[in-house]
Amino acid sequence: MAKLYIDVDKIYNNAKRVVEISKQQGIDITGVVKQCDADCKVAKAMVKAGCTSLAVSRTRQAKKLKNAGIEVPIWLIRVPAISELEEVIEYTDIVLITELKTIKEINKLCIKKNKILKLVLMLEIGDLREGFYPDEELINSVKEIMQLSNVVIEGIGMNASCYGSVIPSIENTSKLVSVGKKVELVLGRKLNIYSGGNTTSLILVKDKTIPKEINNLRVGESILLARDLTYLWKKPIENTYTDTFVLKAEVIEVKEKPSKPIGETFYDAFGKQPNFEDEGIRKRALVSVGKVDFLDDQGLIPKDKGIKVLGSSTDYLILDIHNADKDINVGDWLEFEITFACMYSVSTSKDIKIIYKERL
């Protein structure tokens, strides 16, 4: 069985660094734990490091955190479905939301259960995922929400660098603030939360260009892995670790084989037509994990030098080890750092044993 080593202490360190640089500009950090399936040890490390709240994308994850005795507010950062509102009200404290119809249904249930739910209204700033659009839709919705007895508009938020790959900027974060000020005029009071995005918004924090009104960021990747700002944006947060989640799997075949398939090719098992370069005979290894475990094989980074990920099938990872800096044999175990793209699959695979590394 493959193993996933989670270094809780390094995650705590990463969270503490993110909290420290953000606090200098009056920004609270909501630690996003959806990608590790709300692992309770990871969640508690984030809280210990100073995250003022935690965020999930599934109500079962919120339930998991509540049952673990975690007392900070739990955000649901995926817009809720009407069919799951019972669980939303039971296990979450703050909900990102974009639909007036859903808000009215929440209010009805909250009245029945004698509860109040806090809302963060999401504004579409161009990434084209969730968000009220155009701006006037959000303002007009506020006027109706004000008439509801058991929901409270806690704040306003935005999303970037996800579906549309839109970069968080002075312009789009300032737009969030501008719309937020209009909301405050309608409400006749200040908003408690201006949530200015996710990990990539930390670039504005590092550059000290984020608007002073932004007082919250929802951060997962920079705490859990710290890879995106380090390797994609070339703006690392100092003294953070990228080897926080390490997958260890066993080599089950080592052979010298042609680098290009032999015979006529068509589609692979996943409906794709991969291209293969003819590099002659190469030494290859099969490893005992596959797409069912990690989803995206390009999200695996071999820790040993000279190893190249060629691809994968449902149950196999295929490596080129021709130039590996050590001799690799059947029965050896290889280690891989992982990216955000494959973290959820690795964290939830029933065929991967989780082992925690804790020293603090």
Average pLDDT over residues 231-252: 98
Reply yes or no on whether the pLDDT at 126 is more than 70. Answer: yes
- Residue 59 counted as domain residue: yes
Average pLDDT over residues 206-232: 98
Q: What is the pTM of this model?
A: 0.96
Query: 268 pLDDT band (50/70/90 cuts)?
Result: confident
Average pLDDT over residues 282-310: 98
Average per-residue pLDDT for the chain:
98
One domain for residues 221 and 307? no
- Residue 83 counted as domain residue: yes
| Range(s) of the domain holding residue 97 | 8-228
pLDDT tens string 27-75? 999 999 999 999 999 999 999 999 999 999 999 999 999 999 999 999 9
pLDDT tens string 63-87? 999 999 999 999 999 999 999 999 9
Cβ neighbours, 10 Å, residue 322:
17
**CA atoms in the 13 A half-sphere facing the CB of 284:** 19
One domain for residues 271 and 205? no
CB 152 within 8 A of CB 111: no
One domain for residues 157 and 262? no
Residue 269, pLDDT score: 85
- Residue 194 counted as domain residue: yes
Classify each residue of 46-80 as buried b or exposed e, where b means 16 or more C-beta atoms within 10 Å of its C-beta: bbebbbebbbbbebebbbbbeeeebebebbbbebb
Quote the number of domains for the chain: 2
Query: 359 pLDDT band (50/70/90 cuts)?
Result: confident
Share of the chain above pLDDT 70, in %: 100
Alpha-carbon gap, residue 270 to 98, rounded angstroms: 35
For residue 323, what is the domain's CATH number?
Answer: 2.40.37.10
- Residue 2 counted as domain residue: no
One domain for residues 304 and 331? yes
For residue 75, what is the domain's CATH number?
Answer: 3.20.20.10
- Residue 237 counted as domain residue: no
One domain for residues 124 and 217? yes
- Residue 250 counted as domain residue: yes
Average pLDDT over residues 116-125: 99
Alpha-carbon gap, residue 297 to 276, rounded angstroms: 16
> Which tokens sit at 8?
């809780």
One domain for residues 195 and 337? no
- Residue 144 counted as domain residue: yes
Residue 360, pLDDT score: 60
One domain for residues 193 and 271? no
One domain for residues 21 and 156? yes
Last residue of one domain, picked from the residues 228, 259, 282: 228
Query: 4 pLDDT band (50/70/90 cuts)?
Result: very high
One domain for residues 99 and 214? yes
- Residue 220 counted as domain residue: yes
One domain for residues 224 and 250? no
Residues classed as catalytic: 34
One domain for residues 222 and 252? no
One domain for residues 220 and 351? no
